[in-house]
């Protein structure tokens, strides 16, 4: 299965933030949407980085409540690892495992087309396995 199919199934809505937004506002956004990360966008519409719950927790652990007043641009991960709709679920799973990341922006021809999480990838793998089991059951039932 390709990432394009995952995006088609889950949708392409992406919750974003600006580098100037405060961490406390983004934390509320994460909670409101029940997500683990936001993509941080530049004014030109291109991704500037990503900010995850882990980034926020690390900052609060280091700086206390004052971290919540800092701008997103101070804490976001700038070195984005990205994927493409043509990548397979297995390829993306490998990248996420190797790089120890849970969210991956998906770009097509340099344009942002979606964001997948490790949960999206696991769900896709489970759906594939279920389909394979059902196909095998049908095949075996047809033999008898």
Give the pLDDT score at 144.
63
One-letter-per-residue 3-state SS of the chain: CEHHHHHHHHCCCCCEECCCCEHHHHHHHHHHHCCCEEEEECCCCCEEEEEEHHHHHHHHHHHHHHHHHCEHHHHCECCCCCECCCCEHHHHHHHHHHHCCCEEEEEECCEEEEEEEHHHHHHHHHHHHHHHHHHHHHHHHHHC
Give the pLDDT score at 117.
95
- The answer to whether domain 3-141 has CATH 3.30.390.10 is no
- Mean pLDDT computed over 5-18: 91
The pLDDT tens digits for 54-108 are: 999 999 999 999 999 999 999 999 999 999 999 999 999 999 999 999 999 999 9
Give the pLDDT score at 46.
87
């Amino acid at each position: 299965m390709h990432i394009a199919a995952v995006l088609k199934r889950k949708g392409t809505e992406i919750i974003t933030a600006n580098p100037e937004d405060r961490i406390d506002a983004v934390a509320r956004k994460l909670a409101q949407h029940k997500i683990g990360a936001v993509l941080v966008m530049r004014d030109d519409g291109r991704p500037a980085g990503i900010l995850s719950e882990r980034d926020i927790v690390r900052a609060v652990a280091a700086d206390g409540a004052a971290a919540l007043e800092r701008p997103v641009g101070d804490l976001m991960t700038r070195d984005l690892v990205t994927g493409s709709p043509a990548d397979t679920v297995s390829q993306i799973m490998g990248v996420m495992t190797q790089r120890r990341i849970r969210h991956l922006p998906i770009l097509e021809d340099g344009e942002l087309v979606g964001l997948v999480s490790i949960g999206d990838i696991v769900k896709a793998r489970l759906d594939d396995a279920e389909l394979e089991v059902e196909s095998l059951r049908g095949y075996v039932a047809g033999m008898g």
